[in-house]
A and B are shown apart, each in its own frame.
Chain A
Amino acid sequence: AQSVTQLGSHVSVSEGALVLLRCNYSSSVPPYLFWYVQYPNQGLQLLLKYTSAATLVKGINGFEAEFKKSETSFHLTKPSAHMSDAAEYFCAVSGRSGGYQKVTFGTGTKLQVIP
């Protein structure tokens, strides 16, 4: 069985400060990992994904995440927060179930950016 744990349902940072959103996963097979962002009243949009190539993955809007197998983590970071980064962020793990994709989402982390 696979699962995702996002630590902290709400995170507040000052504009210009480092953003760190935590995600730990559990998977019985090498996982594919995703970060999605959801802006208010919108659907989810892919930020970045790890598919067993480089462990440091760069995404859109200056975000990146590092896959650490030993820590079963895939934390999302951004060096300098911008007001437009305020949104909810979801970590997800994808694995095979009967040969097809099965995606499990975390509970989400709401990021507040303080001016």
Chain B
Amino acid sequence: DIVLTQSPALAVSLGQRATISCRASQSVSISRYNLMHWYQQKPGQQPKLLIYRASNLASGIPARFSGSGSGTDFTLTINPVQADDIATYYCQQSRESPLTFGGGTKLELK
């Protein structure tokens, strides 16, 4: 299985940039496709797709969210962080079955 590693928590100030990383145990890229996706989950809610295939903004997601990376190293950036962004963020790979999620990064206010 492909293991995805995320830092458990990140403290950030409102209005600043937040950078959340996800490292895969093996490449999740096929040709030009980077099969890594990012989700936001707030307490008591279902996850929401933010970024698909590493760098594509999902429908209705604000432009302050962006994603980058390829191979084994991926980043979700929120700039600037707003109060509504306080949540837990998960990466997920769809390069091969079983699909796997990272452990999640809880974004907290500094």
Asked if chains A and B come from one complex, the reply is: no
